[in-house]
Every structure is written in structure tokens, then in C-alpha cells.
Amino acid sequence: MRVGVLVHGDTAVRAAHSLSVHPSVDDVVVIGPARSKNFEVVPDASSCDVLIGSGAGAPDRAREHGLPLIWDGETAEPGVGVFGASPQGLVLALADREPDPRIVAIAHPDLESADGHRVRFPDPVGTIAVADSVYGGRRLATGHSADRFAACLAVGGERSVTIVDDGPFMSGIALAAGLEVLNETPGPVWDHALAYLNAATEMGLVMGAA
């Protein structure tokens, strides 16, 4: 499989590095116009099988090339094969594996500060204020992490499951792992939670349970 990267910011570049060593990926290229020190830059996506990208403009660019897109946006868009490939989608995938989750929350340096209730995340994130929100049609509490670390937390009736890592690193892997759940039917990563989480852990994220 040849993956084309629509470069827009750090997340797509980090995802490209994760995919470049993935066993199902033969080659990773950057779709121009762009510059890259690590990947071949090609003028178009005609030689690619799938595209990966982040940010609001990625679906429009993918439609121009006529290939399915792995995307970190939260909603289905024309041309998008997999959406929600983000830290928020990662925690929703965690919650999907837990019966009756009572707390579904994320703290990330890219998210806004909140004034709501407080949630205790694993160290080094600690206790922060979160705001109740909706992501991809599902309830999710979100808060701002004060340093580079991010934390996902899903608390069910029998256990709590967490992922804690460097925030930008988590975002890149969350995007890259979306490739594992690409199929003929477009959808979010949490519709295939186990496969998505397995891909994310194989790429370097560590999941803990208590």
C-alpha cells in the first residue's frame, strides 16, 4: 500500500513517520506542492492508494485527488474514508470497549481550558477542569493539559482504562492508526474500536487499566 500525506501542520508529519515503518505500508509520499526532508514529494496522488491528512481543508484536497482520506476531523465528509482519527476518537474507542462508561474524558495541550467539573487523570497530567461536550455525536469531557502530556480516560463499572503520552506524539499516532480500520464503508474509528486501539498500541502508545 502506498500512502499519500496531505501535509498541514505537525500531526500529519508525525503520522507519516509512524506509517513509514508499519508492516502494511510499502511506501509513504508527500503530495505536493510541499517540501520534505524525509519523504519523496510527488506532484499528485495518482500512484497512491489512500491519503492521510489533518485539519479542516484535508477533505477538499482529498476529493480533488479522488482517493479515500484518513482524517482527524469529527464528522463524516464526502471523500473521507475514516474520521475521528484523533485523541478524542482514541478515548471514544476506549469507552466503546467498556460496559456503561461513567467517565469519558481527555486532557490535551491543544484543547481549550475549561471551567467545568474536575477530573483526575493519571500523572503527570493530574487533576484538571473539563467541559462536557460532544464529539462525533458522543459525549466527551475535554480539558487543557498545561504541559506537553495528554491523557485519555474511560472509567467503566469494573475498571478504568487510560493512555498517557506526549500530546503531539499521541495526535500523530491517533491519525496514523486510522489506516487500520479503513474499509469500503466510511465511518469513525470507534466503530472498530478494538482494531483501532490495537493499531495505536502497536505504533507506540501504551494503554493501562486498573
Rounded percentage of the chain residues whose pLDDT exceeds 70: 100
What was the pLDDT predicted at 33? 87
Eight-state DSSP code of residue 21: T
Q: What is the pLDDT of residues 183-207, one digit of tens each?
A: 989 999 999 999 999 999 999 999 9
Q: What are phi and psi of 101, to 5 degrees?
A: -65, 130
What was the pLDDT predicted at 158? 86
Burial grade of 61 (CB within 10 A; 0-12, 13-18, 19 or more): middle
**DSSP-based helix, strand, coil % in the chain, nearest 5:** 30, 30, 40
Chain center to CA of 76: 15
Residues in the chain: 210
What was the pLDDT predicted at 35? 86
What was the pLDDT predicted at 159? 93
Give the residue-averaged pLDDT of 61-78. Answer: 96
What was the pLDDT predicted at 116? 82
Task: Indicate if the pLDDT at residue 115 is higher than 90.
Answer: no
CA proximity to 4, closest of 83, 62, 81, 82: 62
Q: What is the pLDDT of residues 120-130, one digit of tens each?
A: 999 999 999 99
Give the residue-averaged pLDDT of 145-158. Answer: 94
What was the pLDDT predicted at 3? 98
Task: Indicate if the pLDDT at residue 119 is higher than 90.
Answer: yes
Architecture of domain 2-83+170-205: 3-Layer(aba) Sandwich (3.40)
Q: Which three cell numbers stand for residue 2?
A: 502506498
Q: What is the pLDDT of residues 12-43, one digit of tens each?
A: 999 999 999 999 999 999 998 888 889 999 99
Angle between helices 167-176 and 10-20 (to 10 degrees): 60
Q: Where in the chain is the domain with CATH 3.40.50?
A: 2-83+170-205
pLDDT level of residue 97 (50, 70, 90 thresholds): very high
CA dist., res. 95 & res. 1, Å (int) = 30
Q: Which stretch of DSSP H or E encloses residue 10?
A: helix 10-20
